[in-house]
Amino acid sequence: MAEQAVEPTGSPTRSTTRSVNPRRRWTDSPHLWFWIFVGPFVAGLLVFVVIPILWSVWLSFYDARNTVTPTHFVGFDNYTRMLGDSAFRSSLLTFVLFAVFIVPTTFVLSLGLAVLVNGVKHAKAFFRSVFFLPTACSYVVAAMIWRHSLFGGTAAGMVNTVLGWVGGAPIAWLSVVHPPWYWLVLVTVRLWLQVGFFMVLFLAALQRVPKQLYEAAALDGATGWKAFRYITFPQLRATSTAVLMLLLVNAFQAFDEFYNVLSTTGGYPPYARPPLVYLFNVALGNGQDFGDGSAGAVILTLIIAIFALVQGRFTGIGRREV
């Protein structure tokens, strides 16, 4: 009897443990608080992203003119019609022309600015904020500023004013006839908006490069361009791959600057209407053909996925480091 009553010091009995740790309430569940914080985001993702994507895929197999609840199933006819549409194919060529210039130019400028800012010893936070600030501006607002203030008309606009000061003639920047000066407007507004964002990505990667590598290279006489080529750039491989991927997807999604700069110029010139602008006009224009527009959107999504996979294959994204 006495031995059964003895318990080791500091070891509570079973009955004592139950009294100290009562049954957990439902509010103590970690899963509850997980869904409280994550639930609104998941709900928004389902309502505004997943469901619209699935609905668009469903519409692409129906004759959906002026309605989003069609009943006439047409199979792959919408896809065949879109692939045979010369205007849709030319819009894809517009993307190629835009991406061929905007992707490498943004990459080089953002990387160059990141290297310069990283090398600054004083006021580094100031320069980082100045170059990143345009990212907070809306694409629509920036496009309207470029259209009405900087490149507005043949006799107005800041750029033409500066040209007048140096004796130059005003240029019709937004004219749809040759020469295609409107490309300068479209490219500069995109560069102003996105270079700062990718500069910050490169800057964060540069700050993770070990200083010992540069010190060891300096002992061997590798400084300046050699240090950048053999140390800095190889250390930025993962960031460079991510930046190229984001730039390519952003180029595919070009819409705001093209639509707001060229929509009121009397029509889009050849090879100056990207896929999203064309699909917007198909689905929400006079015809309101949601079937063809959805089919074009699915085709565009597949093209983006193929480009992403090909880029990942050549750049080694997702490849395990040995």
State the Cα–Cα distance between residues 255 and 284, nearest whole angstrom.
14
Chain centroid, CA 222 distance in Å: 36
97-268 belongs to CATH 3.30.420.40: no
Q: Cis omega before residue 269 (within 30°)? A: no
The closest alpha carbon to 246, from 296, 321, 318, 307, belongs to 307
Q: Which residue has the higher pLDDT, 23 or 166?
A: 166
Q: What's the pLDDT band for 27 if we cut at 50, 70, 90? A: low
Q: What is the pLDDT of residues 295-305, one digit of tens each?
A: 999 999 898 88
CB contact set of 299 (below 8 Å; sequence gap of 6+):
79, 82, 83
Give the model confidence (pLDDT) of 215-250 as tens digits.
888 887 777 788 888 888 888 888 998 899 899 888
Taking the C-alpha atoms of residue 2 and residue 8, their distance in angstroms, rounded to an integer, is 13
- In the prediction, which pLDDT does 210 show? 86
SS3 track for 158-216? HHHHHHHHCCCCCCCCCCCCCCCCHHHHHHHHHHHHHHHHHHHHHHHHHCCCCHHHHHH
Q: What is the mean pLDDT of residues 152-168?
A: 79
User: What is the number of other CB atoms lying within 10 angstroms of the CB of residue 146?
Assistant: 26
Q: Which of 275, 225, 28 is nearest to 115 (CA)?
A: 225
Nearby residues of 306 by Cβ (< 8 Å), 6 or more positions away: none
Angle between helices 237-252 and 86-119 (to 10 degrees): 140
Q: How far apart are CA 293 and CA 278, in angstroms?
A: 9
Instruction: Determine whether 308 is exposed, middle or buried from the number of CB atoms within 10 Å of its CB (0-12, 13-18, 19+).
Output: middle
Q: How far apart are CA 198 and CA 207, in angstroms?
A: 14
Does pLDDT of 63 surpass 50?
Answer: yes
Q: Which residues of 107-128 are buried (b: 16+ CB within 10 A; e: fewer)?
A: bebbbebbbebbeeeeeeeebb
Q: pLDDT tens-digit profile of 99-136?
A: 888 999 999 999 999 999 988 888 888 988 999 999 99
Average pLDDT, the chain: 83
Does residue 3 register a pLDDT over 60? no
Mean pLDDT of the region 20-24: 55
Range of lowest pLDDT (2-16, 132-146, 178-192, 263-277): 2-16
Angle between helices 86-119 and 182-206 (to 10 degrees): 40
- Length of the chain as a residue count: 322
Backbone region of residue 21 per phi and psi (left: phi > 0; alpha: psi in -120 to 50; beta: other values): beta
- pTM (predicted TM-score): 0.79
Instruction: Report how far apart, in Å, the C-alpha atoms of 15 and of each of 5, 21, 111 are.
Output: 13, 10, 66
Question: Residue 99's beta-bridge partner residues?
Answer: none
Instruction: Pick from 3-17, 71-85, 156-170, 305-319 the range whose average pLDDT is largest.
Output: 71-85
* Residue 322 predicted with pLDDT over 50: no
What DSSP string describes 119-154? Answer: H-SSSHHHHHHHHHGGGGS-HHHHHHHIIIIIS-TT
- Closest among 266, 302, 306, 260 to 280, alpha carbons compared: 260
